[in-house]
């Protein structure tokens, strides 16, 4: 019983920490940009630029790799996914069309898949050493 609790606590702590880090990184990279860009032809893009999303992903890469290296895979995947999903929900929930839930679902699936792949690669590389 004690050994299972000893494995659960670090996973839970890593999930909580990475959820908080994900929320903070979202706020730093994407939270401040809320305006759509209007082009001369009348079309709109945004509110985020590609460099902001790339910056978010690269910033999250360091803590995700560190936690995966420490074998906190479950906490890493769940915490990062939960943090990014909660941030997207909070940021986009004022959308009057209700379609923001599609985007939130895509953020959840994409972050789950990307974090799982990164954790798998780091774990496999660390195991081979």
Q: How much is the average pLDDT of 88-104?
A: 90
Compute the distance between CA of residue 98 and CA of residue 34 in angstroms, rounded to an integer.
17
Average pLDDT, the chain: 89
Does residue 17 have a cis bond before it (omega within 30 degrees)? no
- pLDDT higher than 50, residue 1: no
pLDDT digits (tens, 9 = 90+) for 9-60: 888 999 999 999 999 999 999 988 777 778 888 887 778 888 999 999 999 9
Task: State how far the alpha carbon of 68 is from the alpha carbons of 34, 47, 98, in Å.
Answer: 33, 32, 35
- Give bridge partners of residue 37 from the DSSP assignment: 45
- pLDDT higher than 50, residue 7: yes
What length is written for the chain? 129
Q: How much is the average pLDDT of 83-110?
A: 93
- Hey, where are the domains in the chain? 2-128
Structure tokens at 111: 């972050």
Spatial CA neighbour of 81 closest among 110, 53, 56: 110
């Amino acid at each position: 019983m004690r050994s299972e609790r000893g494995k659960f606590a670090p996973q839970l702590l890593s999930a909580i920490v990475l959820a908080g880090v994900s929320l903070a990184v979202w706020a730093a990279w994407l939270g401040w940009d809320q305006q759509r860009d209007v082009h001369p032809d009348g079309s709109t893009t945004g509110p985020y630029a590609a460099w902001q999303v790339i910056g978010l992903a690269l910033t999250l890469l360091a803590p995700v790799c560190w936690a995966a290296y420490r074998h906190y895979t479950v906490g890493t995947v769940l915490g990062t996914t939960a943090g990014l999903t909660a941030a997207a929900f909070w940021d986009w929930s004022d959308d009057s069309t209700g379609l923001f839930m599609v985007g939130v679902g895509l953020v959840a699936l994409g972050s789950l898949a990307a974090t799982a792949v990164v954790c798998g690669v780091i774990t496999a590389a660390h195991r081979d050493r």
